[in-house]
Structure 1
């Protein structure tokens, strides 16, 4: 594959590469195609997806060193698809007997701390952490496409939940998040250019179509392994979807819990409005392995993880020409699949 690691470093962790084959690795990294992005370091084409350059070495460490357990639960998504929200829901379902609604860590920690990203947190700074002491089930998340997940994840019995949001709202949410992260407008970006790059596939962890279809096809071929969940369905009927999620990950609600309203209680705690108004999500900050131009870590305001969360807000941002461009991309890339998107609130 054109963007694979060169043979001499293919089976080494990024930390070992830097130590033993530093120059070779740097030359290989420099040879990969690059593009600009709202991500300060730009994006690099690796294994047919555009990885934030600052995360590439972390992704390689993740691929080479993560050993999946059968009881692991992994949340996968494209950025700005409702990931922060789903993390809170899954954490609450799994830990409902350990924590009450008044002492849950969600009240004091952003959900990224409770369900960390492999590529941005677990393997940050080329670290190879010892994950064997984590209690089961271990909860993780990732934006990495299915094809680039470690072999151990694909071969284990661990469960993957993929959250898909319609491309219109995803694109707007990406634009708004980029404005919080590095003020992309002042960097010369226009929303029209942002739409065009998205449709070309040159966006973080893109192309959108290959990312979504990779997990979609796997969910059809192996439904006991991958659950494909639409953001819009979660918004429309969170109670039904929570029951479905709990069943899939092996934590079904008991008849007594259903009678006691446990599902409803968790859904209220994890509603977007409640989460958005929590003190930690209004005023806290969170650091991923994101380095600014001065070489320091950027601390992302937790409030930037929660915006409107509406279905159909894209109508307030798209011009007719942008809408035509995105519709053309969707029609071309998804015509051979049975997947369809919900663009507007029902």
Structure 2
């Protein structure tokens, strides 16, 4: 999802002198950054230790300078394609369950999870008011060390999810390949994409540094940051839903548990249920600042653990495992395989 640089936007829209100066400063920063040809043929820039295309870099710089959270905000953080959609659905369902009555249905049945929980670096970078303040949920792919200082220094809570790097890579490759086809562009061959990923080059990558940043922060601030893995959540979803609710400050009452509320949320947010909804099968989604429609269905591919083995050779799998083991060594973190 690439957009024009701010300077181009300003020439077209006649914005204020302050905004023009901001765009000039942004362009000057861009010109000094290391650059490589990344996924989908776009230029990727190395900024504060991580790679971004121009769209996400512009959004990140904007929120670093201007975003101020509510004290009650809860951030759902992840590297792309590591369980983001599912975690958004679960946290939204947990937080809004008290609003539902016999005549009211959850927005998750008519809107995709990404339209229920705004993205920090896209939705809110484009328009900070583009959210329902009564629902204190914000999503982000931004690495922990790159988050706006206003978030890090606040009392806001952060829920982070990650998964086995091999499955994360395959899911990302499929997702971006679908984007390229929608633009009538030949998808990047899997082998080429794999080389980029192993070299840390992907939006918000390197993947291992993304994971390590939130892991170390969760050890330092356990009351503020909850670190989860997709595999453990799939293994015992009920326990994790209750853990999420407690961490968010929306614990289930005994009456709710006995009434099956936990299982209702699990069922409503399951891959099978969400992927079968009309909105997620046939509707389209547009990221703010872009004109490219994204089929909602591309956010729901399989949701399986271990699917990487159907796409990567054993040698490729072993190589990525070895990279992750070396990068995580000494951290105390051992991701499921």
Same-fold call, TM cutoff 0.5: yes
For 1:303 and 1:121, the matched residues in 2 are separated by 20
Give the deviation of 1:38 after TM superposition: 3.1
For 1:17 and 1:47, the matched residues in 2 are separated by 25
| 1:30-83 CA-partner distances (Å, limit 9, x unpaired) | 332222333564321111111121121211111111112221010000000110
After superposition, the Cα gap between the structure-2 partners of 1:24 and 1:239, relative to the gap in structure 1 and judged at 3 Å, is closer
Matches within 5 A, 1:177-216: 177-183=175-181, 187=186, 189-216=188-215
Matches within 5 A, 1:65-84: 65-84=66-85
Matches within 5 A, 1:245-264: 245-264=244-263
Query: Could you tell me which residue of structure 1 aligns to residue 280 of structure 2?
Result: 281
Stretches of structure 1 lacking an aligned partner (at least 5 in a row): 1-13, 292-296
| 1:109-128 CA-partner distances (Å, limit 9, x unpaired) | 1111110111121112xx4x
Question: Helix, strand or coil: the match of 1:97?
Answer: helix
For 1:185 and 1:233, the matched residues in 2 are separated by 38
Q: Which moved more, 1:107-116 or 1:184-193?
A: 184-193
Matches within 5 A, 1:99-118: 99-100=100-101, 103-118=105-120
For 2:334 and 2:231, the matched residues in 1 are separated by 12
For 1:22 and 1:235, the matched residues in 2 are separated by 44
Give the deviation of 1:179 after TM superposition: 1.2
Query: Could you tell me which residue of structure 1 aligns to residue 304 of structure 2?
Result: 310
Query: Could you tell me which residue of structure 1 aligns to residue 237 of structure 2?
Result: 238
Structure 1 vs Structure 2 CA RMSD: 2.2
Does the aligned pair in 2 maintain the 1:163–1:228 contact within 8 Å?
yes
After superposition, the Cα gap between the structure-2 partners of 1:16 and 1:322, relative to the gap in structure 1 and judged at 3 Å, is farther
After superposition, the Cα gap between the structure-2 partners of 1:313 and 1:290, relative to the gap in structure 1 and judged at 3 Å, is farther
Give the deviation of 1:264 after TM superposition: 0.6
| Match of residue 166, structure 1, among 164, 187, 190 | 164
Give the deviation of 1:167 after TM superposition: 0.3
Does the aligned pair in 2 maintain the 1:17–1:25 contact within 8 Å?
no
| 1:168-202 CA-partner distances (Å, limit 9, x unpaired) | 10000001101111149964732122112111101
For 2:16 and 2:87, the matched residues in 1 are separated by 32
Question: Helix, strand or coil: the match of 1:300?
Answer: strand
After superposition, the Cα gap between the structure-2 partners of 1:15 and 1:240, relative to the gap in structure 1 and judged at 3 Å, is farther
| 1:248-295 CA-partner distances (Å, limit 9, x unpaired) | 00000001001101001111111110000000000011111464xxxx
Query: Could you tell me which residue of structure 2 aligns to residue 93 of structure 1?
Result: 94
Give the deviation of 1:130 after TM superposition: 3.9
Give the deviation of 1:151 after TM superposition: 1.1
Query: Could you tell me which residue of structure 1 aligns to residue 143 of structure 2?
Result: 145
After superposition, the Cα gap between the structure-2 partners of 1:100 and 1:86, relative to the gap in structure 1 and judged at 3 Å, is farther
Give the deviation of 1:327 after TM superposition: 2.1
Does the aligned pair in 1 maintain the 2:96–2:135 contact within 8 Å?
no
Question: Helix, strand or coil: the match of 2:76?
Answer: strand
Give the deviation of 1:328 after TM superposition: 2.2
Q: Tell me, yes or no, if structure 1 residue 331 matches structure 2 residue 325.
A: yes
Aligned residue pair count: 321
